Structure 1
Amino acid sequence: MANGFDVLTPGVYTTLQDAGRFGFEDRGVPPSGAMDEMSFAIANALVGNTEAMGALEFTLTGATLRLTGNASCRFAVTGDMHMTLDDVALPPYCRHRMQPGSTLRVIRARSGYLAVAGGFAIAPVMGSVSTLARAALGGFNGRPLQKGDWLTLAATQHAGPPTDSLPVQQLMPQRERRPIRVVAGPQQTHFSPAGVASFLAGEYRVSGESDRMGYRLSGPPVPHLQGFNIVSDAIYRGSIQIPGNGQPIIAMNDRQTTGGYPRIATVIRADLARLGQQKPGDSLRFELVSVEKAESLWIGRHQHLQSWLAELREVAQLG
């Protein structure tokens, strides 16, 4: 009998995600993938998986899952999480073992990830298992998990013994309390210098209308200099559009691939994982950096992450 998770409660919005579905934006298909790529990659490394293997992504609240089958499984949960296994509290950023019949309850999450050794038995669509719910594409039947679903696990990989807690603060630069860093434009000339200055000085809150497609912000409106309609242009993750009401919208993983609102700035790659941990009601500020600074920050962060992942995989293979 294959191992699997019975979904007892699905949480607010739990989907299967991997590193993303790339190469199809010219056909209108966004990459999707993990909102917090750092926590996602660390969860996989903890159980000995490749960095890009599919994992469950929790939003705001997690799921309650019961393991069925004949074998135990190794799992790890990362992100800003609280959870219990058979009503016993477990720390995140550790590798744990789950026995058949046991119940894992994820009590709270911003963006959190559950990886299991060997991954999930889900066929990729267009090269990825990431869920794009608005197109019913990928993941588990193209949608978030629902109560009563049964999610099959792939053949178990060896993942060593349980690990001690890892230094969570070190592993979560997303917890940095500093402005989200951006580079200018590419349509910054559609705004006056005073408008740009107001945007950078303002404090914005993540609206309850935000989702994986985009974060809608509320705060000081940004006036347009030349109107708010432009010829449709490519939209990237982190693009900050200013529509007619002047309230910024940050394009996220399930975004449309083109848009007709001018973009005042773009979030740098090094801060996208931190952005992915934001929830409705959180406040945001922005800080302008040069392209050269943005590249330097990403290179440093990526190298540091790869070093962590290599160490975690080595430990996972030793037990």
Structure 2
Amino acid sequence: MSIEVLKPGLMTTVQDLGRTGFQKYGVIVGGAMDADSLRIANLLAGNGGNEAALEVTLMGPGPSLRFAETTLIAVAGADFSLMVNDKEVPLWRPILVEEGSVLNFGMTKRGSRAYMAIAGGIDVPSVMDSKSTYVKAGIGGFEGRALQKGDCLTAGEITPLAEKIKERLASNRQTRGFAAPNWSVDHRYFLPLKKSPVIRVIKGEQFDQFTDASQERLMSGTFRVTAKSDRMGYRLEGDPLELKSPLEMISEAVSFGTVQVPPDGNPIVLLADRQTAGGYPRIAHVISADRSAVTQLMPGEQLQFQPVALEKAERLFIERETKIVELAARIKLEYMV
């Protein structure tokens, strides 16, 4: 099986859930920005949740792909137009793309990233237990870089579940170019894609070092995602946040969702390609259940923060994981595997 890249899009890379266990050596985790959407796309394609898939950045032209063989895929994440041979294709469900068909990623309606999983996962070498692309270091993914015109992707061995899904879709094919079931995952259940979302956070280690007015501004103000944002972090713009007094810090560990405040007072939300440690005061941490909502924001869009207790953050994490486990079970039940 091979998929030829006709147009690469603005930024299309191979990603999985990241390169864990190597931060002590200075190696970043990386991986998918919206891990939940990648996991769900993989489940819909009959894969395990951590297979390598395509992360498509929809802040500009999307990629165009030609399928040399009939292939089972699934696409989740942003709300956008997806076309096979100029016919619109549904998202958040398995899709059987026929041999010779061309898949085009169109303009986004809401959200900034989509994830295309292929049955069997994308077959690229694993580097430090991950296939994720880290472009700045040139490691992982497809030759350590974003996709380019002329690249050809291949898939690994597909699972019995993926075989069952392919067989079912092939037998019910009605539309030339692709086939899809009449059911789908309701993205609102996993990824609401709201305008100006409220992002829940827990207080950071240096929260109390900020002035009372700054603490209030963080939790009640509105912040805008600037054009200087990338996979490393989202730079926000709003009323500046100020420390009570100058603070000398030794660099400390940071995580996905850490909200740092540099000297200019505009917070930075650290994301997938974040550094392993940071020396700016950490005023808050985005809870894991809201990371996907943050990473789907476009430059120019706004967000607000809302404080929650650690206990609630843990409960929301468990609820999200339970939903994904239940989805995996329902897909298996649907195809009697």
* Fold-level similarity (TM above 0.5): yes
- 272-281 vs 222-231, which deviates more? 222-231
Contact 2:133-2:139 at 8 Å conserved across structures: yes
Q: Residue 151 of structure 1 aligns with which residue?
A: 153
Q: Which residue of 2 aligns with 1:28?
A: 26
- Which residue of 204, 210, 222 maps to 1:191? 210
Match of 2:136, SS state, is helix
Aligned to 2:11, the other structure's residue is in SS state coil
Aligned partners of 1:240 and 1:267 also within 8 Å: yes
Residue in 1 that maps onto 2:86 = 87
- Hey, what's the Cα distance between the residues in 2 that align with 1:291 and 1:220? 26
Structure-2 residue corresponding to 1:99:
98
Tell me the CA shift for residue 316 of structure 1: 4.7
Equivalent pair of 2:74/2:117 in contact (CA under 8 Å): yes
Question: 1:169 & 1:198 partners in 2: Cα distance?
Answer: 31
Matched letter for residue 131 of structure 1: T
Deviations 1:263-317 (A, max 9, x none): 1000001111111211111101000111111111111121122111221243356
User: Deviation of residue 132 (structure 1)?
Assistant: 1.0
Pick aligned residue for 1:216 from 226, 232, 235? 235
**Residues in 1 aligned to 2:183 and 2:37: alpha-carbon distance in whole angstroms:** 15
Q: Decide whether the 8 Å contact of 2:37 with 2:77 is kept in 1.
A: yes
Amino acid at match of 1:281: G
SS at match of 1:124: coil
Whether contact under 8 Å (1:47, 1:159) holds in the other structure is no
How far off is 1:201 after superposition? 1.5
CA RMSD across the alignment: 1.6
TM-score w.r.t. the length of structure 2 is 0.89
Counterpart of 1:166 (choices 178, 184, 203) is: 184
Q: Which residue of 2 aligns with 1:141?
A: 143
Shift of the 93–43 alpha-carbon distance from structure 1 to 2, 3 Å rule, reads same
Q: Which runs of 5+ in 1 are unaligned?
A: none
Query: Which residue pairs with 1:4 in the alignment?
Result: 2
Asked if structure 1 preserves the Cα contact closer than 8 Å seen for 2:223 and 2:237, the reply is yes
Name the count of aligned residue pairs.
Answer: 314
Residue 156 of structure 1, CA deviation: 4.2
Shift of 1:167: 4.4
Structure 2, unaligned stretches of length 5 or more? 170-179
Instruction: Please give the secondary structure, in 2, of the residue aligned with 1:307.
Output: helix
1:64 aligned partner: 64
Any conservation in 2 of the 1:242–1:262 contact (CA below 8 Å)? yes
Partner amino acid, structure 1, of 2:309: S
Matched residue, 1:127: 129
Q: What amino acid is aligned across from residue 65 of structure 1 in structure 2?
A: L
For 2:121 and 2:312, the matched residues in 1 are separated by 36
Q: Partners in 2 of 1:175 and 1:241 — Cα distance?
A: 24
Counterpart of 2:177 in structure 1 is none
Q: Which of 275, 294, 299 pairs up with 2:318?
A: 299
| The one of 15, 18, 40 aligned to 2:16 | 18
1:243 aligns with 2:262: yes
Contact 1:131 1:138 (C-alpha < 8 Å) held by counterparts = yes
Partner in structure 2 of residue 49 of structure 1 = 47
Rate the CA distance shift 1:63–1:229 in 2: closer, same or farther, 3 A.
farther
Between 176-185 and 206-215, report the one with greater CA deviation. Answer: 176-185
Of 159-168 and 32-41, the range deviating more from structure 2: 159-168
Partner secondary structure for residue 116 of structure 2 = strand
Counterpart of 1:175 in structure 2: which amino acid?
L
Which among 199, 204, 217 is matched to residue 180 of structure 1?
199
Alpha-carbon distance in structure 2 between the residues aligned to 1:8 and 1:168:
30
Contact (CA 8 Å) 1:213, 1:251: kept in 2 or not? yes
Matches of 1:179 and 1:37 in 2, distance apart? 19
TM superposition shift of 1:8 = 1.0
